[in-house]
Amino acid sequence: MSTIDWKNLSFGYLPTNANVRCYYKDGKWSKPELNNSEYINMHMAATCLHYGQEAFEGLKAYMGKDGKIRLFRVQENAKRMIESARYIQMAPPTEEMFVESVKMAIEANKEFVPPYESGATLYVRPLLIGTSAQVGVKPSADYMFMVFVTPVGPYFKEGFKPVNVIIDRDHDRAAPLGTGHIKVGGNYAASLISLDLCHKQGYSTVLYLDAAEKKYIDECGPANFFAIKGKSYITPKSHSILPSITNMSLMELAKDMGLTVECRKVPVEELSTFVEAGACGTAAVISPIGKIVDPNQNHVYEYSKDGNAGAISTQLYNRLKAIQYGDEADKFGWITIVR
């Protein structure tokens, strides 16, 4: 695998050796098995194709200085997929089969885990789909759960440099009582139009507002939003925000660093009071935000004048990465060693 240019990888797809699949039939899951095909052969009337019976997860495997491969809070991803599955009426995987399949997929592709300090990681993508034929709007009887992996570089090309973000008041990714809190494909389909518009205008991602009133901060593209004000770590609370495992961890780290954590509604006007702002998630890690533009209100909120991340975001980023790579003791019990 020496042909991979680890340092210049983008957040894309590269083929690997194998993926892992489990099948749900007659009320039971089969054991995880390896598969060498990058393709899925399925019925044209499968419910995932027509009615969006599809949920996915995203986590990363990290190569430590000690040569060990680590997973970060994989049980939380399993629990979240179970939640997603239940909400859209799919057969949920068990936590054990989820974790076993993730480990198996990494074992089968261990030479694709990027080296320590290359800046790249192995992205792990579990996927659950309804596979049986159905033309009426009804849940599938059969399901497939799979895990594939692919080495990735930073999600935003800026890496840990501030990105610029635009508020989109003309589109919503999820309804107030809809599916924003679970990780299903439809939310991402709904976000493509605003992402396209924001990219065309030169922004890295979109900041959504609450769909009902457009008064409060919601998701930040495929990531959660957080901000720093004084000694507080502030992050929006909303039913349409995906409960980010990264954000959950940053809240714990912030507390550990002596900050107060506020998870609450964040009014748009409050943006002008923040000293630092960022987007956080598995893919984004922490992406500091340089400025947020609100075109409808003709307002720009600036958080980085010198082109660098703020001091607290930098400390949080360094601690999170140190735990993920095994450079700092895992005092929260977040790490699973794969091998």
Burial class (CB in 10 A: 0-12, 13-18, 19+), 35: middle
219 binding partner (options ligand COI, ligand PLP, none; Cβ < 5 to 8 Å by kind): ligand PLP
Task: Report, in Å, the least distance between residue 138 CB and ligand PLP.
Answer: 27
Q: Which is nearer to ligand PLP, 121 or 244 (CB)?
A: 244
Cα–Cα distance measured from residue 47 to residue 35, given in angstroms and rounded to the nearest whole number: 22
Catalogue the E-assigned strands of 131-201: 143-152, 163-168
Minimum gap (Å) between residue 152 Cβ and ligand COI: 9
**Which residue stretches of the chain are H helix?**
47-50, 74-87, 95-108, 185-200, 245-256, 311-325
Q: Nearest distance from residue 141's CB to ligand PLP, in Å?
A: 28
Among the residue ranges 128-136, 142-150, 262-270, 275-283, the one whose residues contact ligand COI (CB under 6 A): 275-283
Nearest residue to 87 via CA among 194, 174, 172, 201: 174
Candidates 23, 42, 58, 315; binder of ligand COI (CB under 6 A) is: 58
CB of 210 to ligand COI, least distance (A): 21
Query: Applying CB under 6 A, which of residues 222, 290, 310, 326 lies at the interface with ligand COI?
Result: 222
- The DSSP call for residue 206 is E
Nearest position to ligand COI, beta carbon: 58
CB of 294 to ligand COI, least distance (A): 24
Q: How far is the CB of 83 from ligand PLP (least distance, A)?
A: 12
Question: What's the CA gap between 177 and 290, in Å, rounded?
Answer: 31
Q: How far is CA 76 from CA 51, 81, 248, 335, in A?
A: 26, 9, 10, 11
- Angle at CA of residue 318, ends 238 and 260, nearest 5°: 45
Maximum CA extent, the chain: 60
Q: Which does 324 bind (CB under 5 to 8 A by kind): ligand COI, ligand PLP, none?
A: none
Residue nearer to ligand COI on the CB measure, 186 or 222: 222
User: Closest Cα partner for 221 from 290, 160, 163?
Assistant: 163
* Phi/psi of residue 270, nearest 5 degrees: -65, -15
How many residues in the shown chain lie near ligand COI by CB under 6 A? Answer: 5
- Catalytic member of 183, 237, 255, 305: 183
> Which residues lie near ligand PLP (CB under 6 A)?
58, 219, 222-224, 242, 244-247, 281-282
Bridge-based pairing state of the strands 69-72 and 54-56:
unpaired
- Any catalytic annotation for residue 79? no
Cα distances from 88 to residues 136, 139, 219, 257, in angstroms, run 15, 8, 21, 38
Place of tokens 């924001």: 198
Structure tokens at 91: 């057969």
Adjacent-strand bridge partners of 248: none
Shortest distance, CB of residue 13 to ligand COI, whole angstroms? 11
Q: Which is nearer to ligand PLP, 243 or 267 (CB)?
A: 243
Q: Pick the stretch among 189-197, 276-284, 317-325, 329-337 that binds ligand COI (CB under 6 A).
A: 276-284
Q: Which of 283, 292, 335, 338 binds ligand COI (CB under 6 A)?
A: 283
Interaction partner, residue 259 (ligand PLP, ligand COI, none; CB < 5-8 Å by kind): none
Per partner kind, with CB cut-offs from 5 to 8 A, the member of ligand PLP, ligand COI, none near residue 224 is ligand PLP
Q: Is 224 in the site for ligand COI (CB under 6 A)?
A: no
Residue nearest to ligand PLP (CB): 281
> Applying CB under 6 A, which residues contact ligand COI?
58, 222, 281-283
